[in-house]
Amino acid sequence: MKPAPFAYHDPKTLSEVTALLARLEGAKLLAGGQSLMSMMNLRFVMPDHVVDLNGVADLDYIRESSGRLEIGAMTRQRAIERSELVRAKAPVLVEALEQVGHHQTRNRGTIGGSLCHLDPAAELPGMAALYDAELTVLGPKGSRKIAMKDWALGYMTTALEPDEVLTGIAFPLWRERHGHAFLEFARRHGDFAIVGVGCLLALDGAGAIARAALVLVGVDVKPMRLDSVETLLKGQVPGPELWRAAADHALKIEALSDAMVSGDYRKRLAGTLTARALARAAERAGGARG
């Protein structure tokens, strides 16, 4: 199929983008197009206007500032994956990106596009939730900040207003000694995750867990932080018994059922992958194996 008729706009600056969004009805922003173009071709989405962000150079950057990793919304996923700064400061992002589609997908897909599309199985929204990222959006009334915990309002629905554009994402960096892990289960490599688990684990001088962050993707309409597991882990000595206890907590979540798998299957996967991710993150942090 082919998309329904639409008007195409090719702005070069953010001010042009916001001006277009302020006056156009039924407009959609085009980033990498990995999801939008398919949905338009199938006529699941029929915008009157498509505003192409690919010419806006100000939205493409990777930098460190004030203890945060800042990434522009139009930065290609492949650029993030290959960035030495990202590998040094937030390697779990690279580990997650290696599960996103294939090289061709990541060559076009953008971080901002993934966060705005907000597919329940997408890895990058999970990474933003794992780091308690802050998103910057721009509209006719100016710029505003949105915490990742407030970004997702429902199924593929964000807090972005129709006349706003996502401009950047800031990831607060973990400075203390810590390990990381991202694991997911999919039918084939590159497919959407049935369940994915992201983990950051910091150890204190005695080798106990000082801080932990865990997130699940694929189990709910938005990334799910495992707050109860994070609380359970704090102050504990890493080891197999602790990982089993964490897995038991993960088994208590409410998980989606769909045409592919049941909610119970997703819960079992969440428990298994949580234990494995914690073990890997602890080993990388210099803690107990297993």
Could you report the per-residue pLDDT of 55-77, keeping only the tens digit for each?
999 999 999 999 999 999 999 99
Instruction: Give backbone dihedrals phi and psi of 178, rounded to 5 degrees, phi first.
Output: -160, 165
What are the structural domains, with CATH classification, of the chain?
A: 7-52 (3.30.43.10), 57-172 (3.30.465.10), 178-283 (3.30.390.50)
Q: Give the span between the Cα atoms of 271 and 277, in whole angstroms.
A: 10
pLDDT value at residue 8:
97
Could you report the per-residue pLDDT of 265-281, keeping only the tens digit for each?
999 999 999 999 999 99
For the question of whether the overall pTM of this predicted structure is more than 0.85, the answer is yes
Whether the pLDDT of residue 289 is over 60: the answer is no
pLDDT value at residue 287:
65
pLDDT value at residue 1:
74
